[in-house]
Structure formats: C-alpha cells, structure tokens
Amino acid sequence: MIKEVIVVEGRDDTAAINRAVEADTIETHGYGISAGTWSLLEKAYETRGLIIFTDPDHAGNEIRRRLKEKFPEAKHAYLDRGKATDKDDIGIENAKPEDIQEALSKAKSTISEAPKVFTMDDMIGWGLAGDENSGRLRAAAGDRLGIGTGNTKTFLKKLNAFGITKEELDLCIKDIISNSQKA
C-alpha cells in the first residue's frame, strides 16, 4: 500500500492505478477542481502526503502546476508520453501496470530553495541542448530519472528542483548512450 494519496485526473486513471498498485486516489476531474476536492486534497496533503500523477499532456501539466503551487512539498510522478498513449488518447489510463509502478517508484519531491547545481552549459555539455537529438535524450533521461521531460529550460529547472546530482545525470546519460549504441 502506497502511503501517500495519488492525485489523478479521472476515474479511468484511478482504475489504472488500482490495476498496478494498492493506493488511494483523489480525482481532480480536470482543470476545474471543485472546492470540495480542494478541501479533500488539503486534508490528504496534511495527513498522508500527495503524489501528483497527471497525464503527460498540456491539460495534465496545467493541473500539475496548479497543484504544485498549493502543495509545494507533494511528490511528483511522471509517465513518459509514449507509455501513456493509445492511438490519439494520452492518459495514465492507457499505461501498463508495470509502467505505472515504475513511475510511482521514482516519485520525487521538489526541494525548497534547491541549490542551482545545473546550468545551461551543463545542458549543452551533456547533449541535452543544442543538438538535433537533444529532445530525445531529455525525454529518455527524464523517464529514467523519473522527472518527466520538457524543453531545455524546463528540464534544467526540473534537474535542480528535484535534487538530481551531476553523478546521477552522468550515469543516466552514459547508460542511455551505451544502450543506444548496442541497438
């Protein structure tokens, strides 16, 4: 049983979570979160903690942003867009149980007043910016590190906010490159 309450967008997401793990969920029912749901989220945050696990699309990112503002110490779980896509539908409900388990196992909290370990020069040096394959490398690294992906600036912020170390990123990038060369 997962200690924290998992915040998802809808009942299909809850069903997918329940197929993967034993956990309690709260559904936002989209962007227009009701006063009752906000109250429920606040109580869960104070008593058990939250894991925010929204869809890897624009709406999911906006819901995550709003939740993060209100609950800054909540954990975040990210699912790679490819693992959440079925035809044209993107959502947690489309993910395999093992992909949901992996994403939840990598859930991380943002660090208040996180030190700025990474710079734009680091992003370029690791090939995460300025190269035609940078987007794919950021997506692969974000999936492995459990921090999601984003454009260069967003990914840089995530590396710093989630307390990723340079050693972790270096090992991750080397592993990605090694595995891609084997393929």
Of 18, 179, 4, nearest in space to 93 by CA: 18
86-133 per-position pLDDT tens digit: 888 999 999 999 999 999 999 988 776 667 899 999 999 999 999 999
Phi, psi of 101 (to 5 degrees): -60, -45
52-68 per-position pLDDT tens digit: 999 999 999 999 999 99
Cα–Cα distance measured from residue 136 to residue 62, given in angstroms and rounded to the nearest whole number: 22
109 vs 6, which has greater pLDDT?
A: 6
For the chain, give the percent of residues with pLDDT over 70: 98
Cα–Cα distance measured from residue 52 to residue 64, given in angstroms and rounded to the nearest whole number: 7
pTM exceeding 0.85: no
pLDDT recorded at residue 183:
65
Average pLDDT, rounded, for the chain = 93
User: Average pLDDT, stretch 150-168?
Assistant: 92
User: Average pLDDT, stretch 163-176?
Assistant: 94
Domains of the chain: 1-109 (3.40.1360.10), 111-183 (no CATH)
pLDDT recorded at residue 114:
65
- Please determine, for residue 19, whether its predicted confidence score (pLDDT) is greater than 70: yes
User: Average pLDDT, stretch 17-30?
Assistant: 96
Cα–Cα distance measured from residue 120 to residue 103, given in angstroms and rounded to the nearest whole number: 26
